[in-house]
Structures are given as C-alpha cells and as structure tokens.
Chain A
C-alpha cells in the first residue's frame, strides 16, 4: 500500500468538519450541537498539525495548543449556558429558545 498523501489527510479532516457542520445544522438538542462544534474544532486542529509536519514549522502545533485551550473554555461556558437554559425552559430543545420573540 502506498504511503498516505497529504491531500488524503486534508480530505479526512474536511469530512469530519462537514459532519460536524451537518450536526450543527440539523440537530435540535443543544448538547449534541456543542459536541458537533467540538468535532469541527478537532478537524481544524488536524489540518494545523498536518501542515506543521509538512512545512517543518512548529507554529501550527502552538496554534493547536491555544485552540485546545479555547475549546475547553468554550465548552465550559457553553455547558453552563445549557444548564441555565434548562433551568429556565425545562428543555434542551433549540426550538424552545424564543424568549425574544414578540
């Protein structure tokens, strides 16, 4: 079997990204939407690491380090918001969020 070309890795990473995007678009459960956002962040991380390896430059891995930190902060705040939302609406359905509707 021939060695893996870089474009195959890029294709894999974009496949994961679009699976996550599909999840954000069609799911109504806000916890699953947060999980799909994590999938998309992971796909971007893989692209960074691939180019860091390809170009012999470690800035890509540093960027991934900071993205992981931001993702951790984002999911902590996001899940706090989910808890606040569940307390107000007794639901995690995104269609129930219509408090601003006149």
Chain B
C-alpha cells in the first residue's frame, strides 16, 4: 500500500495540472516553456514521494535541465515574435471538439480507475528490503548493470544515432545552385 502525504501530493498535483494547462493554452512559447519547468519539478517531487529517488533526480537533471535548455535555446534561436507566433490558432469548433473528446475519454478512464481492484503486491523489492540493500539508487544501479545490461548498452547506440541525426538534420546545407 502506498503511503503518500495527501497535503504534499494534492499541492504538487494541482500545481502540475495548472501549469500543464498554461503550457497548452498560453500563446507565448516562452511562457509555455517556463510553465513546463514547473510541471517537471512537480513530477520530480511526486516521484520522490513514491520512493523513486534516482528517477526524481534524473527528472530534474534531464528534463528540467537538458531538455528545457534545448527548448528555450531553440525558441530564442528562432526569435519568432513576428507575425508567425500563433496567430492562426485552430478554429473554434476544432478546439471545442478536441476538448470534448479529451474530457470524454478522461471521464471514462476515471470511471475505470475508480472501480478497478488493484492486484496485490508480489514483487521482491519492498521498501524495507531496498533500504537494507543500500537504498534506491544502489539497487537500481545493480539491476541496470546485471539484468538490464543489454537495453542499457542499446540506449548508448540510440543516443549516438540521435546526435548524428540531429546534426545532419539541422546542418546548414550548401546551396546547390551555387557553383
């Protein structure tokens, strides 16, 4: 059974939902990016409350650090405060239909979650055992380098491919018409 502190959980959940709505509804992409930072930090707090300490740290380092810097860097690079900002948004009927569809599926999810019975815990990694084995980070690291060594090595190939691809895509091409 999970034991979340309700005050902290509802605070961070409310903050995350409000800022996620800001991300989607704000016209200015810079405002969206800074709201997204708050969402990422709230998620990190909830991860830490669910005893996923390594993932909480990675969330702040990778999402709130690296990915957000990348987003803000691209927004500043494009410097699009001209007419191309977000002037022609989607038509009103598309926004209403999209919102209604999302709300409908969300309501059905809510109904399903409320009435579902959770299966009982069968895993070996109870919080007490993780604590005795040296904490969340140590146990995850041992798993990563034993059971999950192949996917871990494959992620390095994936990252290399992503680096090469993003450089190749974003590189300034030489004009073919020039001699």
Closest to B26 in A: A32
| Contact residues in B for A70 (Cβ distance below 8 Å) | 155, 158
How many inter-chain contacts with C-beta < 8 Å in the A-B complex?
A: 239
What would 13 more interface pairs be, CB under 8 Å, given A79-B70, A92-B78? A4-B6, A25-B98, A26-B98, A39-B39, A56-B122, A58-B139, A62-B151, A69-B159, A72-B162, A73-B161, A76-B163, A83-B78, A90-B84
Interface residues of A (CB under 8 A from B): 1-4, 6-12, 14-16, 18-23, 25-29, 31-32, 34-36, 38-39, 42, 45-46, 49-50, 52-58, 61-62, 64-66, 68-77, 79-84, 86-87, 90-93, 95
Residues of A within 8 A of B114 (CB): 7, 11
Complex contacts, B47 vs chain A, CB 8 Å: 46, 49
* Interchain CA distance A34-B74 in the complex, whole Å: 12
- Contact call B125/A56, Cβ cutoff below 8 A: yes
Tell me, in angstroms, the Cα distance from A29 to B86 when the chains sit together.
6
Q: Decide if A79 touches B166 in the complex (CB within 8 Å).
A: yes
Instruction: Identify the interface centre among B13, B16, B33, B52: most chain A CB within 10 Å of its CB.
Output: B52
Any A CB within 8 A of the CB of B118? yes
Q: Collect the chain A residues with CB atoms within 8 Å of residue B54's CB.
A: 61, 65
Contact of B17 among A16, A22, A74, A81 (CB under 8 A): A16
Contact A10 B43 (CB under 8 A): no
